[in-house]
Chain A
Amino acid sequence: MIDPTLAVPLADRLLAMADDELILAHRNSEWAGHGPILEEDIAFANIALDEMGHAAIWYGLRGDITGEDTDRLVFFRNAGQYRNVQMVELPHGDWAFSMLRQYLFDAAESIWLGQLAASGYEPLAQAAAKIATEERYHLRHTSLWLRRLGLGTAESHARLQTALDALWPYARQLFVPLPGDAALVAAGILPDPAALAHEWHGRARPYLTECGLILPDETPPRRDIPRTEHTEHLMELLAVMQSVARLDPAAEW
Chain B
Amino acid sequence: MNDQWPRYEVFKQERDGGPFRNVGSVHAPDAEMALLNARDVFARRPACRCLWVVPAAAIVATPIVVNAAGDAEPADASGPLEPYAVCGKSSERQAMTYVDYLGRVEARSAAEALRAAPALGAARIWWVFPERVISRSDPEDAPGLEAATGKLFRMSNQYHTVVTMQKIRRGDEGEE
Q: Which residues of A contact B (CB under 8 A)?
A: 37-40, 42-43, 46, 49, 52-53, 56, 133-134, 136-137, 140-141, 144, 148, 252-253
Contact = CB atoms under 8 A, between A and B. Distances in A.
A253 B159 contact: yes
Contacts of B39: 137
Contact of A39 (B37, B153, B159): B37
Contacts of B151: 53
B15 interface: no
25 contacts: A37-B5, A39-B26, A39-B27, A39-B28, A39-B40, A43-B36, A43-B41, A46-B44, A49-B154, A56-B153, A133-B143, A134-B144, A136-B144, A137-B36, A137-B39, A137-B144, A140-B36, A141-B36, A144-B32, A144-B33, A148-B29, A148-B33, A252-B160, A252-B161, A253-B161
Given A39-B41, A43-B36, A43-B37, A253 B160 contact: yes
B164 interface: yes
The 9 closest A-B pairs by CB, nearest first: A39-B37, A43-B40, A46-B40, A39-B26, A133-B143, A42-B40, A252-B160, A133-B144, A137-B144
Q: Which of A38, A39, A52, A141 has the most CB of B within 10 A?
A: A39
Indicate the size class of the contact surface on chain B: 20 to 34
Chain A residues touching B, majority SS: helix
Nearest to B44: A46
A79 B173 CA distance: 35
Nearest to A134: B144
A96 to B, nearest CB: 15
Contacts of B40: 39, 42-43, 46
Contacts of B37: 39-40, 42-43
A37 B5 CA distance: 9
A148 B5 CA distance: 14
A133 B27 CA distance: 25
Contact of A37 (B27, B44, B154, B160): B27
Contacts of A40: 37
Contacts of B160: 252-253
A45 B40 CA distance: 9
A99 B47 CA distance: 28
